[in-house]
Structures are given as C-alpha cells and as structure tokens.
Amino acid sequence: MINNYYKCFDLSPGLVNDNVERIDINQISQDQFVEKYEKLYKPVVIKGATDNWKAKYKWTLTVSGHCTALAFTSSHNDATFSNSRG
C-alpha cells in the first residue's frame, strides 16, 4: 500500500521561501568555495555542475499521472525502465 502523505503539502515554487544563494560552478574557484561556503557551513546551490554529464542527454525522465518512466538511449541499444507505483 502506498502512502499518499506527500499530497498534503503544496510545494509550488511561488509558495516556498527560498533564500539560499546560488552560484555557478564555472564562476568560482575551489579555494573561493572553501573559504566562502565550506568553512562557514553555509548552504549553497551549485548550478552547472552536471552540464557536461553524459546522463543529461542519454537519460530522459517522463512523469505522466502516477507512472514514471526512465529511458536510456545509446548507439548500440535502447532500453526503457518503468516504475508504475502510484
């Protein structure tokens, strides 16, 4: 049996008070990151870290209703994995 407790919360982007700083991985050095965020235990969202990952173009995620499908495409074969848990 699946618990639908998550449906009790509205997490629409406009309703969430998001004040976490965002940085681009290409605009900060490792030393700057350590000094400004890591040493201070300051939360930060790092943008651009996955831009060059092959998974960005080899995998696609499709959500439709209560079904989630994950598809992998390569030059040798195509495979589709699905999870139909609602």
* Sequence letter at residue 73: T
| Eight-state DSSP code of residue 2 | -
Q: What is the pTM of this model?
A: 0.51
Phi and psi at 38, nearest 5°, equal -65, -50
Supply the pLDDT for residue 65.
Answer: 59
* DSSP secondary structure string for all residues of 29-85: -HHHHIIIIITTT---EEESTTTT-THHHHEEEEEETTEEEEEEE-SS-EEEEEE--
Given a cut of 80, whether residue 53 has pLDDT beyond it is: yes
69-83 per-position pLDDT tens digit: 656 555 555 544 444
Supply the pLDDT for residue 63.
Answer: 60
